[in-house]
């Protein structure tokens, strides 16, 4: 799968997904400080699912009705980065076909997947 990882993600998550043979663009390696609008546009251009821990993308997608190829919002604060990477990788492996065109929220105990009306 193709992903665009927002700069607020731990690099260990990006590396874990790359080890699992996913194509991952990482904003921190590209152009730090770009706006959320530009990040979302880039993800859409590449038909990549956006990985972020920034809740502002929920507002862009739902309230402002911005089109998205898919968004995965990580709410994993307080966990070790290796544990975060494991949770994200397992979620993607278990739910990969459901993530495209959906807004997914991952917490330590739940996964919520909501299809987008694009």
23-41 residue pLDDT tens: 999 999 998 889 988 999 9
Q: How many angstroms separate the CA atoms of 82 and 12, rounded?
A: 7
CA distance 35 to 108: 28
Write out pLDDT tens, residues 51-65. Answer: 999 998 888 888 888
- pTM of the shown model: 0.93
Give the tens place of pLDDT for each residue, 59-104: 888 888 887 789 999 999 999 999 999 999 999 999 999 999 999 9
Residue ranges in the chain assigned as alpha helix (H): 11-19, 27-30, 36-45, 56-58, 81-99
Per the DSSP assignment, residues forming a β-bridge with 26 are 5
User: Angle at Cα 90 formed by Cα 93 and Cα 39, nearest 5°?
Assistant: 80
Answer whether residue 118 shows pLDDT above 70: no
Q: Check residue 62 and report its DSSP letter.
A: I
The enclosing domain of 20 has a CATH number of 3.40.50
Overall domain count for the chain = 1
Domain residue limits at 85: 2-115
């Amino acid at each position: 799968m193709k992903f665009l990882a927002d700069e607020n993600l731990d690099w260990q998550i990006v590396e874990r997904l790359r080890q699992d043979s996913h194509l991952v663009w990482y904003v921190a390696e590209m152009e730090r400080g770009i706006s959320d609008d530009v990040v979302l546009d880039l993800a859409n251009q590449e038909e990549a699912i956006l990985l972020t821990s920034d809740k502002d993308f929920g507002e862009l997608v739902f309230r402002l009705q911005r089109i998205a190829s898919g968004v995965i919002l990580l709410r994993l604060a307080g966990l070790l980065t290796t544990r975060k990477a494991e949770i994200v990788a397992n979620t993607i492996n278990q739910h990969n076909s459901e993530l495209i065109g959906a807004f997914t929220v991952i917490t330590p105990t739940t996964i919520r997947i909501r299809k987008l009306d694009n």
